[in-house]
């Protein structure tokens, strides 16, 4: 289903609406076999509390098709690299050498986010790790070559904990829709393992299926799972600029993250962990991910690097 921008513009102009996406209609918080235009609201309100203009129609018409709507509450959606709470599993806050994915990581001017994945190789043959731009390349602060820490500054990271250098980060524009929040950090692969903490070996990337159960490993909430509730979302996210920033083409998952989990890879744990999305924002009711295809559209094709540290998840220097 491709929803015309004019339909989205009309729905998203209404009070309390932060975005729209395509996904299964939910009845009693359970998906049913019907694709709907999902309307994402910060808070569900009774119709009596809404002006008539702001009420969501039960269905919309476009291209000779009638599609039902489904209003879903997503709360206050914002970036999740501000580590305002300790990790549920404190080991994720400490220094790791070699470091697995899923631990504290970030630019010195950021509190702490998450090291997304094990080492990858770029089209140009450089060895990098992946995280969010707002974790490794904060707006108006970062420059290519900046030091990146493991653990992040909020978890005690200092100049003695430099583990890589910023290679590039996606630009997060305030005045037009964005498709990714991603950054590459150039690293020495011997300083990292080929594993995702709490999950296992990293098996590369794959396509997402609505029926999959998705898993992530993050600095704050550790290993959590959730379902894919919507695709091709256009949604406003707080935390980048003074006003909410629009992202499009992203995925909406159930709640599976908290502040400090930004940068985690989301994927399927089936004969090795294979990533489908890069977690970049969320709330207590939802988690947002950038499809890996959009990450690669920004940075070029990425594939698992052949050499990584051979340490286990218990190693610490």
Same-domain check for residues 176 and 206: no
Same-domain check for residues 130 and 158: yes
Does residue 316 sit within a domain?
no
Q: How far apart are CA 77 and CA 253, in angstroms?
A: 12
Q: Assign residue 38 a region (left: φ > 0; alpha: ψ between -120 and 50; beta: otherwise).
A: beta
Same-domain check for residues 212 and 238: yes
Domain that holds residue 27: 5-73
**pLDDT at site 29:** 79
**pLDDT at site 30:** 84
**pLDDT at site 89:** 64
pLDDT band at 27 (very low <50, low <70, confident <90, very high): confident
**33-44 confidence digits (pLDDT tens):** 899 999 999 999
- What would the 3-class secondary structure string for 105-127 be? EECCCCCCEECCCCCEECCCCCE
**pLDDT at site 313:** 45
CATH code of the domain containing 250 = 2.40.10.10
Does residue 312 sit within a domain?
no
pLDDT band at 86 (very low <50, low <70, confident <90, very high): low
Q: Are 154 and 83 in contact (CB under 8 A)?
A: yes
Does residue 304 sit within a domain?
no
**174-203 confidence digits (pLDDT tens):** 999 999 999 999 999 999 999 999 999 999
**pLDDT at site 5:** 94
Q: What angle do CA 252, 76, 241 make, to 5 degrees?
A: 95
Q: How far apart are CA 294 and CA 310, in angstroms?
A: 30
Percent residues over pLDDT 90 in the chain: 86
Write down which residue in 194, 217, 238 finishes a domain: 194
Q: How far apart are CA 310 and CA 191, in angstroms?
A: 9
Helix (H) / strand (E) element for 149: namely strand 147-149
pLDDT band at 312 (very low <50, low <70, confident <90, very high): very low
Same-domain check for residues 131 and 91: yes
**69-83 confidence digits (pLDDT tens):** 999 999 999 998 765
Does residue 168 sit within a domain?
yes
Number of domains, the chain = 3
Q: How far apart are CA 41 and CA 38, in angstroms?
A: 10
Lowest-confidence pick of 57-61, 275-279, 309-313: 309-313
Q: Residue 138 corresponds to which tokens in the numbers above?
A: 């904060």
- Cα dist. 162→53, 145, 235 in Å? 53, 12, 34
Q: Are 144 and 291 in contact (CB under 8 A)?
A: no
**217-249 confidence digits (pLDDT tens):** 999 999 999 999 999 999 999 999 999 999 999
**106-165 confidence digits (pLDDT tens):** 999 999 999 999 999 999 999 999 999 999 999 999 999 999 999 999 999 999 999 999
Q: Assign residue 262 a region (left: φ > 0; alpha: ψ between -120 and 50; beta: otherwise).
A: beta
Q: How far apart are CA 114 and CA 109, in angstroms?
A: 14
Same-domain check for residues 273 and 209: yes
Q: How far apart are CA 124 and CA 107, in angstroms?
A: 24
Same-domain check for residues 245 and 161: no
pTM of this structure: 0.94
Same-domain check for residues 287 and 208: yes
């Amino acid at each position: 289903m491709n929803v015309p921008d004019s339909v989205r513009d009309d729905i998203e102009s209404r009070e309390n609406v932060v975005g729209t996406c395509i996904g299964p209609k939910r009845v009693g918080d359970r998906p049913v076999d019907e694709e709907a235009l999902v309307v994402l609201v910060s808070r569900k309100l009774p119709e009596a509390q809404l002006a008539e203009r702001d009420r969501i129609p039960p269905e919309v018409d476009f291209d000779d098709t009638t599609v039902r709507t489904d209003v879903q509450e997503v709360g206050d959606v914002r970036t999740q690299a501000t580590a305002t709470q300790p990790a549920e599993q404190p080991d994720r806050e400490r220094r790791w050498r070699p470091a697995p994915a899923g631990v504290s990581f970030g630019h010195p001017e950021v509190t702490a986010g998450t090291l997304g994945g094990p080492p990858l190789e770029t089209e140009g043959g450089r060895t990098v790790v992946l995280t969010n731009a707002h974790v490794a390349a904060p707006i108006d602060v970062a420059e290519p070559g900046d030091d990146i820490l493991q653990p992040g500054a909020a978890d005690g990271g200092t100049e003695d904990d430099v583990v890589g250098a910023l290679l590039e980060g996606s630009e997060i524009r305030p005045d037009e829709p964005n498709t990714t929040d991603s950054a590459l950090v150039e690293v020495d692969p011997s300083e990292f393992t080929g594993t995702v903490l709490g999950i296992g070996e990293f098996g590369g990337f794959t396509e997402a299926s609505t029926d999959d159960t998705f898993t992530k490993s993050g600095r704050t909430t550790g290993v959590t799972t959730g379902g894919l509730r919507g695709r091709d979302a256009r949604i406003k996210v707080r935390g980048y600029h003074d006003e909410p920033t629009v992202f499009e083409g992203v995925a909406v998952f159930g709640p599976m993250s908290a502040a400090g989990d930004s940068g985690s890879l989301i994927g399927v744990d089936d004969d090795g962990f294979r990533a489908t999305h890069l977690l970049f924002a969320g709330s207590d009711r939802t988690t947002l991910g950038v499809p890996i295809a959009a990450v690669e559209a920004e940075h070029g094709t990425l594939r698992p690097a052949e050499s990584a540290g051979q340490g286990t998840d218990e190693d610490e220097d």
